[in-house]
Amino acid sequence: MVDVWLPYGKTEVCARIPTRNFLGSIEPKERGGVADSRGEIENALSQPLGTKRLSEISKEGDKVAIVVDDVTRTTPSYLMVPALLDELNSVGVKDKDVSIIFGCGSHRAVELDEKEKLVGKDILHRVETISHDYKSGDHVFLGKTSFGTKVYVNKIFAEADVKILTGDINLHYYAGYGGGRKSVLPAVSGAETTQHNHAMLLHPKAATGVLEGNPVHEDMVEAAKLAKVDFVLNIVMNSRQELVRAFAGDLEQPFHEGVKLVDEMYKVPIERRADIIVVSSGGHPLDIDLFQAYKGIDNAMEATKRGGVIVLVAECPEGHGNEVFYEWMTRFDDLKRMEKEVKKRFALGGHKAYYLMKALQRVKIILVSVMPDYYAVNTFGLRTARALNDALRDAFDLAGKNAKVSAMPFGNITLPVVESAQ
């Protein structure tokens, strides 16, 4: 037997897999964090890619808008913002002329205590901070993309003399990657803009780790260009949330350099797909509910044969985690009907129901969690087990005693890439 430990909530659980069945673990190629995070950021700012330094772009009297990630991300904006302010102050830009915009997209506003955690208490006393409200009428129309998306963005951002984006670059399941242009659309865009863009997630190229031909990504780039972004500061982090590298410069070059590093770390080549994948979404807080934990399923699909079995290890102490997700799984029992609803009225949460139903058409999913079976089975269409090795036994019953098994301890950030044709 081979023992494989996987994160589950704030602890770990052990999968006991027969040696003859085990293909191996699929894990990120981790990089260590830098010893001096602030120094790494300052170094990136001093050597921007594709544009002049921020201190050469800005001048005294300029109104500056800095977009930072909201509470749904772990980006260390408290490291990035002070470095940006130092550079701006060095050429006479006053703190009173700087606005920090939390790029909430369609998420809720950021609370005061969350603002302190995100950017630091000192920054809150120095500059104005606001949470973007995508439902607000206080947006400026910038034009239309070639995809027909009418681009409405936050008024303070649109009217700033210098527009700066910050964020982390990571894998994203329909934009391809987070970071860069995503800090405009959806971060500071209006509801109509976001809905039209996100409805394109139905396109086959709107997938994890895909940029070329991905309409969601390309539309986001066009929107950011309409917004006339001046400067970008992006970072890449490891699974321990340590800063690995910082990239600064124009809208596109830092993003693409960061994407290369993300690919090196998180795209993991595999020789063959397995009959059974045992996957963890990474433990707490990444498996706090099914809505968050689904990311593990999405990546595990890449390593699972059609008709195979995914055993998802995710505690889900807060249940399903999203009312729209729950509502769509209750309302729709047909993928085509869901697709029509996505096109007609994209709603955050509904897209997760679409992805889960699509996954269930290709594989069987056994959930190991504390979620009540009533919801897991009757609403979300999953099989359940209370213990991991009970789930493995059920998986072998479904896939056969000779089934080959792979494990993914960090399924939320690991993208398996099959090297040979199946």
Closest residue by Cα to residue 253 from 222, 231, 236, 238: 231
pLDDT digits (tens, 9 = 90+) for 38-53: 999 999 999 999 999 9
pLDDT higher at 136 or 82: 82
Cβ–Cβ under 8 Å, residues 276 and 309: yes
Structure tokens belonging to residue 117: 């955690």
pLDDT digits (tens, 9 = 90+) for 180-236: 999 999 999 998 999 899 989 999 999 999 999 999 999 999 999 999 999 999 999
SS3 state at 17: strand
SS3 state at 230: coil
Q: Which residue(s) pair with 101 in the sheet?
A: 67, 130
Q: Which helix (H) or strand (E) holds 293?
A: helix 290-300
Cβ–Cβ under 8 Å, residues 198 and 216: yes
pLDDT digits (tens, 9 = 90+) for 116-160: 999 999 999 999 999 999 888 789 999 999 999 999 999 999 999
Residue 370 neighbours by CB under 8 Å, 6+ apart: 315, 316, 317
Average pLDDT estimate for 19-23: 97
Q: Please tell me the least confidently modeled range out of 19-33, 83-97, 346-360.
A: 346-360
CA dist., res. 43 & res. 293, Å (int): 36
pLDDT digits (tens, 9 = 90+) for 148-165: 999 999 999 999 999 999
pLDDT over 60 (residue 421): no
The DSSP line for 59-78 is -TT--EEEEEE-TTS---HH
Confidence at residue 400, expressed as pLDDT on a 0 to 100 scale = 97
Backbone angles phi, psi at 284, to 5 degrees: -65, 140
What is the identity of the amino acid at 126?
R
SS3 state at 175: coil
Confidence at residue 241, expressed as pLDDT on a 0 to 100 scale = 85
CA dist., res. 245 & res. 238, Å (int): 10
Confidence at residue 251, expressed as pLDDT on a 0 to 100 scale = 97
What is the identity of the amino acid at 364?
K
Cβ–Cβ under 8 Å, residues 331 and 350: no
Q: Average pLDDT, whole number, for the chain?
A: 94
pLDDT over 80 (residue 90): yes
What is the identity of the amino acid at 351?
H
Confidence at residue 420, expressed as pLDDT on a 0 to 100 scale = 63
Domains identified in the chain and CATH numbers: 2-27+268-418 (3.90.226.30), 37-237 (3.40.50.11440)
Q: Which residue(s) pair with 69 in the sheet?
A: 103
Cis, peptide link before residue 317, omega less than 30° from 0: no
The pairing of strands 22-25 and 64-69 is unpaired
Confidence at residue 422, expressed as pLDDT on a 0 to 100 scale = 44
pLDDT digits (tens, 9 = 90+) for 340-387: 888 887 777 888 999 999 999 999 999 999 999 999 999 999 999 989
Region for 66 from its dihedrals, namely left if φ exceeds 0, alpha if ψ lies in -120 to 50, beta otherwise:
beta
Cis, peptide link before residue 82, omega less than 30° from 0: no
pLDDT over 90 (residue 239): no
pLDDT digits (tens, 9 = 90+) for 56-77: 999 999 999 999 998 877 789 9
CA dist., res. 316 & res. 380, Å (int): 13
- CA 116 and chain centroid, separation: 22
Confidence at residue 402, expressed as pLDDT on a 0 to 100 scale = 97
Cβ–Cβ under 8 Å, residues 262 and 31: no
Cβ–Cβ under 8 Å, residues 98 and 81: no
Residue 11 neighbours by CB under 8 Å, 6+ apart: 283
pLDDT over 70 (residue 406): yes
First to last CA, the chain: 27
Handedness of CA 406, 410, 415, 419 (dihedral sign): negative
Cβ–Cβ under 8 Å, residues 258 and 189: no
Cβ–Cβ under 8 Å, residues 182 and 69: no
